[in-house]
Amino acid sequence: MDNDMNYGDDYKYIPATSIGSGVGINVLPDLYSHTVQIVNIILVGNNKDDFVLVDAGMPESADEIISVVEERFGSNSRPKAIILTHGHFDHVGALIELVEYWDVSVYAHELELPFLTGEKSYPEPDPSVEGGMVAKLSSMFPNEPVNLGNHVEKLPPDGSVPYMPGFNWVHTPGHTPGHISLYREDDRTLIVGDTFITVKQESLLKVLKQQQEISGPPRYLTPDWKAAKESVIKLQRLNPSVAITGHGYPMSGDLLAESLEKLVHDFDRIAVPDYGEYVNRDEH
């Protein structure tokens, strides 16, 4: 492993899975979502010489991600870049191995860089929030930063996304300070990250079954609920036609529109936990 890159001391394989694990979905001709255990990676592009990877899966998933890429684009294919929605362990779990294998640049929001260069840890997961067994087990999830050294760059300030023509990044903080979503105005395609998700991530049963329902960001790893709500409102105003979330199946059409409207209207009830370390009901 490149000696200027390293994972936090608490990085480890997480034995969590779902019925969606290993399943890929062609959402659009140039948009492919693949589930690694309980989280989605996304391939954007339909040309082996011109595609990107969005997010980097769970710890110890590099071989699976490389196989998915080569199955879709051919042997020895590699993305132009890796774009990160944010730096939580389940979105950067295979990042160092992928950067070394492909010799590829990583891009993230400027406010996320301290968590990607070993400078700052995320707040610890909060297992006290209600919602299910995954929340209770969240204390075992890594929160120390990955250190990518000089292999990570900040996204352009003009909102453009390297190697993703037509897409713009949208700052959607709350789950993390530098969380972003990616939006293509031409066809109203939205890559959400964890701004909102389509499975109740706190519930082990619902995660295992991938039972589809719109929800806010994972409760046990969201420290700023006021910003999280504002970010959901921002995305709902874009009126997306299809959304690929970090957790759960893609959602589109009327179901997406109606579900987002419901989430915005009832955010405090649907998304925000009744209690927990990062909850201040007076702010909502």
pLDDT tens per residue across span 178-232: 999 999 999 999 999 999 998 765 555 555 556 677 999 998 899 999 999 999 9
CA distance linking residue 105 with residue 84, whole number of Å? 11
pLDDT value at 4 more than 90: no
pLDDT value at 161 more than 70: yes
Task: Assign domain 24-283 to its CATH superfamily.
Answer: Ribonuclease Z/Hydroxyacylglutathione hydrolase-like (3.60.15.10)
Query: Beta strand pairing status for 189-193 and 180-184?
Result: antiparallel
Span 98-111, average pLDDT:
97
pLDDT at residue number 139: 82
pLDDT at residue number 50: 95
- Phi/psi at 219 (5° precision): -65, -40
pLDDT at residue number 281: 45
Percent residues over pLDDT 90 in the chain: 76
* 161 CB-contact burial (10 Å; exposed 0-12 / middle 13-18 / buried 19+): buried
pLDDT at residue number 280: 66
pLDDT at residue number 8: 95
In 3D, which of 17, 76, 33, 85 has the Cα closest to residue 252?
33
